[in-house]
Structure 1
Amino acid sequence: MKVELFDFELPESQIAQVPLEDRTASRLMVLNKDTGDIEHTTFGHVKNFLQKGDCLVLNDTRVLPARLFGIKQDTGAKVEVLLLKQIEGDCWETLVKPAKRLKVGTTLQFGDGLLTATCIGTSEHGGRTLEFHYEGIFYEVLDSLGEMPLPPYIKEQLDDRERYQTVFAKERGSAAAPTAGLHFTEKLLDEIRGMGVHVAFITLHVGLGTFRPVSVDDINEHEMHAEYYQMTEGTARLLNEVREKGGRIITVGTTSTRTLETIARDHDGRFQEASGWTDIFIYPGHEWKAIDGMITNFHLPKSTLIMLISALAGRENVLNAYNTAVQQGYRFFSFGDAMLII
């Protein structure tokens, strides 16, 4: 299947640069995955499409202030480092710019020496393994020096870094936000619970895959980068009960979707306590085992994310919905509007 089949025209002016003041004020497109029918509303009304006994599944990962700006200790040359994954102890997989001249053994300095790092390994796509050195607690040092790793298509400065966190973010470790969850407030979640809808949480730390474009012509040749996930025994038990009682499982975001599909695939369609690394790549033809619907943002053309939702709702339905969103002036990507597929 060709990557070009998932392309669409998007004016740059419709790429949202800043979040709305009210998280629930974004627009919501409701797409019927069977018929392709479309309905327009606002996100605060998402509860109108949920039913008692359903279960929303959200990703509680917390984004690290993972972008660091520093210098090479020997030359003073400026460098930018993006933390992607903690390997072990103080060793991290990172992306470095510029990477070509950063050789093994090079020492980097951040914040006038408050934090230093030594390059101990290299990989493709500008990847470097860095070992960090500091006094105190690493995450406290990172909070004082790091910046939020906003996607490259966002050019505006983010004044409040909490706006790139969900209100339920808890488990530190992500290099990017699970952006579909940014639309929820605690008030809205309480209202949803009050309807008899279950709210469950999983963890998937978003990593390098978010930053890697599909660089092959045939999507079957694309390799996903592995990301760490975790599901508790309580969440697994709840999801199995919801399924047994005929409720719908509706994931919030592609990260939650990939986590549930990974676990259900590995356990004969059932959920159980699990953790590990997933590189699952979902595209049209995927045999769904875990979910009945999904809340998601509007994604990049030719991305693995638009391929995933096309697997759920059909490529033609999705592209028609995206073209409609462009015509209707919807806001796209991380700080943009949302879609509910049911």
Structure 2
Amino acid sequence: MLGRNHSTMSEFILVGFSTFPRHLLPAFFLLFLLMYLFTLLGNLLITATVWSERSLHTPMYLFLCALSTSEILYTLAITPRLLTDLLSTRHTIAWAACASQMFFSFTFGFTHSFLLTVMGYDRYVAICHPLHYHVLMSPHGSACLVAWTWAGGSVMGLVVTMAIFHLTFCGPNEIHHFFCHVPPVVKLACGTNVPAVALGVGLVCITVLLGCCLLILLSYTFIVAAILRIPSAEGRHKAFSTCASHLTVVIVHYGFASVVYLKLKGPQSLEGDTLMAITYTVLTPFLSPIIFSLRNKELKTAMKKTFLSKLYPQRS
């Protein structure tokens, strides 16, 4: 499907952490492994809590459950390979595996951004139009929004991957990254159409992500205006607390993404690029369940109720 006959290469080499001192790699492995396991555990706990607690069967927590799922799948596309390469001396990745990794990382990355946008809209409706919330955010409508975010992420992943892997790769085959990301892969392509494809892919990705960011900012502009009109301080605090965790995750998500993808062009070491990319691919997914668990009082209470009652069942 991706036109493998367009390339003379059958595999790539992920340079990634191979330029770091070897005595540091076991420490990196342990750190990233613990962060990865915590990310999986945290998101699984959120999903299980929402699934088992009937009081959380609302659109907001449906979106959170979908967000946790996309977070799990995004890290699954990148982190296991990263951990393997940290302890391995052979860092080759097959052509098809590289294309698959790019597809899944972009699919779940864009799905994550689309879900954050939908969650911003959900908070806008809840605070600015509370009387119409159950109509505008009906169970069927919410399920359709989740389905559209996943479909949109899949389309973006497919478009980006097909555009990149229809290029011709003549050599060298060293990807200066720890996973198959677009900029370092494009540098290995040859042909007169490479600059046009790279520019097109970059414009599409930036346009979509900035569009999501602007929609979230627009939602919070109306949300803040509505909160400021609430007469009581208690009412304002209660209204803002319902969207504090989402807003924090948005800031972390787009903050780290802008550092990685919108950094100024200039001399930059491979080690510096690698560590900057880690903030987005490993650290951001690690922080997300922590933020939602600690800043969402309703979810935190439900977690204690659900899991503590199973660990310490009351005796009759």
TM surpasses 0.5? no
TM-score relative to the length of structure 1: 0.23
Higher relative contact order (CA 8 A, sep 6+): 2
Structure with higher strand content: 1
Higher helix share: 2
TM-score (norm 2): 0.25
